């Protein structure tokens, strides 16, 4: 059985002349880039460079929002007031949106970073602040997080699409949360180990915790951290092992880019409301009717002796308008 998985990585986490990872090499391997927005890491020039590089490769751009904590790399809990956190998340998403537009792309999802990511697994007030901020900026943006977390529960309740994420290179506890950094088993190494682990999570829906417990997981996207030693090699191994096991690297949770990321995720996950499904059926019927009319026009013109090859031409050749078959349905899944 074939599976599709999204591979994401935290990128743009340098600052000024200092770099943490080989962003360009990692962008060649991922399908989604979580771009730091200047609060836990990154700066304006880095955001511009990474969004442009991602856009040129067709890699989806995500806002990697975090606490205002450059000194601690966003990996320290900050007891920030919910209204302040709301403002800071809006600020970060909006800043990245500007650079994504400059690159001819857009922000396609939001993924919290580090300590904020872990805090809003249980911290209801901060989780609500993040969800409210995302919805205020664009209520079509999916939120990436751990299955069973407060932030994903609140996001779904608010009508936001959600993406269940697993980590290739991080240790799990028996309750499905991540082993805290700085404790034994927090970060995993070894390309074979990490690659096999990803295959198991995708195909079996389980992962072994640090104490050997089999933990169920939901997998929409797989993350490898850019600052994990050997991150490029780890991601390369994951892609190689995935291909060998019939796992396709693509953004399976967004499959209709022209409709906007939120609508795509709801459609891909079967969460369209009855009202939305009705309008989808009407739209499909209209398109089928239009296609049938076009085929009739093409058939009539062709049968009348006109030299029409896959197109419709204006009368007497004046002001020629050509609609070729190649002009319809062109698109690439997972942009």
Mean pLDDT of 174-181: 94
Q: CA angle, 26 as apex, 38 and 161 as ends, to 5°?
A: 65
For CATH 3.20.20.370, list the domain ranges present in the chain: 3-271
Residue 310: per-residue pLDDT: 35
Residue 268 has pLDDT above 50, yes or no: no
Q: From 108, 157, 151, select the one nearest 6 (Cα to Cα).
A: 108
Pick the CATH number of 3-271 from 3.40.1280.10, 3.90.1150.10, 3.20.20.370, 3.40.1360.10: 3.20.20.370
Residue 249: per-residue pLDDT: 61
What distance in Å separates the CA atoms of residue 133 and residue 102, rounded to the nearest whole number? Answer: 23
What distance in Å separates the CA atoms of residue 258 and residue 256, rounded to the nearest whole number? Answer: 6
Q: Write the pLDDT tens digit of every residue in 41-88.
A: 999 999 999 999 999 999 999 999 999 999 999 999 999 999 999 999
For the ranges 26-40, 108-122, 198-212, 304-318, which has the lowest average pLDDT?
A: 304-318
Residue 267: per-residue pLDDT: 31
Query: Residue 147: which residues within 8 A CB-CB, separation 6 or more?
Result: 164, 176, 217, 218
């Amino acid at each position: 059985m074939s599976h599709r998985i999204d591979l994401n990585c935290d990128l743009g986490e340098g600052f000024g002349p200092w770099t943490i990872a080989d962003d360009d090499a990692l962008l060649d391997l991922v399908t989604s880039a979580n771009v730091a927005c200047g609060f836990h890491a990154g700066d304006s020039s880095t955001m511009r460079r990474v969004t442009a590089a991602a856009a040129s490769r067709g890699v989806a751009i995500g806002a990697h929002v975090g606490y205002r904590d450059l000194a601690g790399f966003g990996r320290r809990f900050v007891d920030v007031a919910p209204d302040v956190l709301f403002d800071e998340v809006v600020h970060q998403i909006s800043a990245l949106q500007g650079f994504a537009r400059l690159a001819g792309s857009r922000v396609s999802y939001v993924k919290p970073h580090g300590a904020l990511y872990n805090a809003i697994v249980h911290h209801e007030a901060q989780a609500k602040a993040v969800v409210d901020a995302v919805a205020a900026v664009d209520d079509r943006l999916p939120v990436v997080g751990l299955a069973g977390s407060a932030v994903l529960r609140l996001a779904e309740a608010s009508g936001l699409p959600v993406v269940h994420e697993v980590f290739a290179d991080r240790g799990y506890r028996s309750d499905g949360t991540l082993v805290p950094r700085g404790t034994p088993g927090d970060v995993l190494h070894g390309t074979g180990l990490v690659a096999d682990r990803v295959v198991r999570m995708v195909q079996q829906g389980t992962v072994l915790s640090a104490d050997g417990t089999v933990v169920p997981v939901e997998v929409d996207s797989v993350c490898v951290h850019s600052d994990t030693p050997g991150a490029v090699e780890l991601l390369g191994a994951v892609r190689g092992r995935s291909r060998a096991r019939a796992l396709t690297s693509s953004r399976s949770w967004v499959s209709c880019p022209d409709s906007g990321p939120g609508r795509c995720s709801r459609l891909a996950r079967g969460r369209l409301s009855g009202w939305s499904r009705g309008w989808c059926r009407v739209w499909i019927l209209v398109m089928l009717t239009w296609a049938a009319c076009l085929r009739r026009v093409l058939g009539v013109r062709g049968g009348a002796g006109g030299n029409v090859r896959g197109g419709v031409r204006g009368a007497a050749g004046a002001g020629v308008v050509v609609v070729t078959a190649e002009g319809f349905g062109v698109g690439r899944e997972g942009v």
